[in-house]
Chain A
Amino acid sequence: MATTDGSNDSTESEGGPLARWTSSVIENQEKRDRLYRALFIVAAGFFLVTTLFPFYWLLVLALTPTSQILTGDWSLPIIGIEFPHPQGFNVYAFVEMFEQVPFHLFMFNSFVLAISTTVIVLAVATLAGYVFGRLEFPGRGLLMLVVLMISYFPPAAFLVPLFDAFLGNAVVIPFLGIELFESPRLVNTPASMVLPFSALFLPLAIFILTTFYAQIPDGLEDAARVEGTTRLGALVRVIMPLSAPGLATAAVLTFITVYNEYFFSSIMALENNPENWSPLLGGILSYQTQYTTEFNLMAAASIVGVLPIVIIVIVAQERIVSGLTAGGLKE
């Protein structure tokens, strides 16, 4: 780059001083632009490599047979630098992982938990989003504040009483000591996870839907009302269809958060068995605890577990971006 610029300079210097001055400014600008573009490409490349390298590492481990992994020798054939690369092409790991652990059952549990939470959250958040986004009533700001506040608390703050209740103990009104009712024993059932998930991921969905529902022009709702539709009818037939992108956003984000959840997933299923409704997490950890040397299977299971999420991100990234910014920042 520098040499070509230099030669340009020498050819341009034939002209008068004014021409030389203008050309050098233009060239400088160009040079500057080129520098910024180069910096941009380096930075973009750096972020791409750092975000994707861990996935490459999983693939390397999955394809390399265990015996090779245990030698711990990652040096490249000719150069001799230590750099992880597949040593072999053991696709069989992706079959073996299902033979060792019923991973498909754990995945199934995860999908059931994620879908049922998403349905509950969408149903409840639609009503709340409609109320907060389209109705004026006293206490609106305060109630939104309360919902927002809940989304901030860590799940650990709710754990002890919830776990006690889900074990089948009596629910006691705090500070009064009055026993309300005895909760059924919910641990090891989907309810013990779907209930906390629904409550904790509800606020985000409410904020997304409030934003979307508030944007529907009043005229459209009024038109439906004039035709004799009830308020709820207008919500279902006019507002919800027009806010389909908002509903999709809330659904995608709720699904991803439940699929990724760790805290309650690891505690409410008492053992890492698919029979106990242990989700993906239990499946992955089964390899870590039971087959401590089968590193290729751990990697293969991680790849299989992450695939649904990668597909969702590629297909629905616009929805994710708009949802995170609407829910995280509120408008």
Chain B
Amino acid sequence: MSTGREHESKWPGPVVSFSRWLENLGETAFAYLLLTPVFVLLGAIAFYPLLRTFELSLFTGVLGAGEPTFVGLQNYVDLFTGAANPSLPGSVTFLPDVTTSGSFPFVHVDGWVRSTLIVTLLFTLVSVSFETIIGFGQALILDKDFYGRRWVRAAIIIPWAIPLVIQGMIFYLMFHPSTGFLTSYLAPLGLVAETNTLNDPASTFLIITVADIWKTSAFMALLILAGLQSIDRNLYDVAKVAGASPWQQFKLITFPLVLPTLIIAVLFRTINAMRIYGLIDTVSSCTTVPSLSCMVVETFYTSRGLSSAIAFVTAGIVGMIASVVIYQRYKEGF
């Protein structure tokens, strides 16, 4: 009791002197001090794991095979030569088999849908392209003033905001053999497999891409909308006086002025699309559609070395795209 009171009476002293010390710090020292929590957190949860992932990828790490030994870049070599394919679950490969033959189109990629790298890149390419086009359409609509605009905007944003697991559940239920009504529409068109749809790699790839487009177009729409709304409205008045049709206004004013925003938005989405994991895990399984993140998790328990190598390859690809984004921003004056 008494020590507690003593403590209390002493308390303001150090606080006061601490805040005085803080106040007298130079601006640079003060800035770095306030940034300490950020870099402690990022250091522990991001920098350390990233470096350690690279270190682990240089070792064997097959679980239960004794102490990991240093193998240099062997894990990466195994990944790209196909020697690591047996360690990947099911019939999954890292690179696809490429065969050359005399017949058109001369180079044949077999089993693209089993290849981790191709699946991830193709998913990114297709989903981001469609999201950009659909997002642009949505943004053009939201840019207009009309009655009920607020509600239309909320409706368009909601898919972006829903949890991945629920998004996955919706599409799982849409295509599950017992409940899915969509299979009976799409199977005759040859888009998805008639039976066992959610275990068929190509069908599941399509379903996941559509699901992602459904969810993320809104995000593109919001970014593009910001670009649209920063366009000077007077330009349109001038164009109207000059007799430009709406299409000409779009081609000559809207599109060129929104292009810088559009490029940033596309690159940003590309980086995010490369992460695809949760949707696959809920709708189907990681062995059906083997994305890069999926394979990190799948090989995680069997081989830490391989898992780390795949993780670092993913980080490398993302890093390359990210440096383009950063260069763009740097040019605009960071």
Q: Which residues of A contact B (CB under 8 A)?
A: 36, 40, 43-44, 47-48, 50-52, 54-55, 57-58, 61, 69-70, 72, 74, 82-84, 123-125, 127-128, 130-131, 135-138, 140-141, 143-150, 152-164, 171-172, 174-175, 195-196, 198-200, 202, 206, 230-232, 256, 259-263, 266-267, 280-281, 284-285, 288, 293, 295, 298-299, 302, 305-306, 309-310, 312-314, 317, 320-321, 324-325, 328-330
The one of A36, A82, A150 in contact with B46, judged by C-beta atoms closer than 8 angstroms, is: A150
Q: Nearest Cβ distance between residue B241 and chain A, in whole angstroms?
A: 14
Q: Nearest Cβ distance between residue B68 and chain A, in whole angstroms?
A: 12
Q: Do B141 and A47 touch (CB < 8 A)?
A: yes
Known contacts A157-B53, A158-B49, A325-B226; 6 further A-B pairs (Cβ under 8 A): A150-B46, A162-B49, A195-B45, A198-B41, A285-B165, A309-B162
In the A-B complex, list the 10 residue pairs whose CB atoms are closest, starting with the nearest: A262-B278, A199-B45, A325-B226, A161-B52, A157-B315, A158-B49, A152-B322, A174-B51, A156-B293, A161-B49
Q: How far apart are the CA atoms of A106 and B184 in the complex, in Å?
A: 35
Question: Cβ of A199: which chain B residues have Cβ within 8 Å of it?
Answer: 41-42, 44-46
Q: List 6 A-B contacts (CB under 8 A).
A: A48-B152, A160-B308, A161-B48, A317-B153, A324-B219, A324-B222
Question: Cβ of B326: which chain A residues have Cβ within 8 Å of it?
Answer: 145, 148-149
Q: Do B223 and A324 touch (CB < 8 A)?
A: yes
Q: Do B166 and A50 touch (CB < 8 A)?
A: no
Residue of B nearest to A199 (CB): B45
Chain B interface residue number, banded: 35 or more
Residue of A nearest to B317 (CB): A154
Question: Cβ of A146: which chain B residues have Cβ within 8 Å of it?
Answer: 42
Question: Cβ of B227: which chain A residues have Cβ within 8 Å of it?
Answer: 329
Question: Cβ of B181: which chain A residues have Cβ within 8 Å of it?
Answer: 72, 74, 82-84
Question: Cβ of A284: which chain B residues have Cβ within 8 Å of it?
Answer: 163, 165-166, 169, 282
A260 and B178 in contact (CB under 8 A), knowing A61-B173, A145-B326, A231-B23?
A: no
The one of A160, A261, A302, A313 in contact with B56, judged by C-beta atoms closer than 8 angstroms, is: A160
A320 and B161 in contact (CB under 8 A), knowing A51-B155, A54-B214, A329-B265?
A: yes
Q: Do B318 and A154 touch (CB < 8 A)?
A: yes
Cβ proximity bits B129-154 to A, threshold 8 Å, 1 near / 0 not: 00000100110010010100010111
Q: Do A281 and B165 touch (CB < 8 A)?
A: yes
Q: Do A58 and B170 touch (CB < 8 A)?
A: yes
Q: Do B49 and A156 touch (CB < 8 A)?
A: no
Q: How far apart are the CA atoms of A83 and B225 in the complex, in Å?
A: 34
The one of B53, B163, B264 in contact with A281, judged by C-beta atoms closer than 8 angstroms, is: B163
The one of A83, A124, A135, A317 in contact with B157, judged by C-beta atoms closer than 8 angstroms, is: A317
B296 adjacent to chain A (CB < 8 Å): yes
The one of A137, A156, A266 in contact with B275, judged by C-beta atoms closer than 8 angstroms, is: A156
Q: Do B334 and A144 touch (CB < 8 A)?
A: yes
Q: Do B178 and A72 touch (CB < 8 A)?
A: yes
Q: Do B164 and A160 touch (CB < 8 A)?
A: no
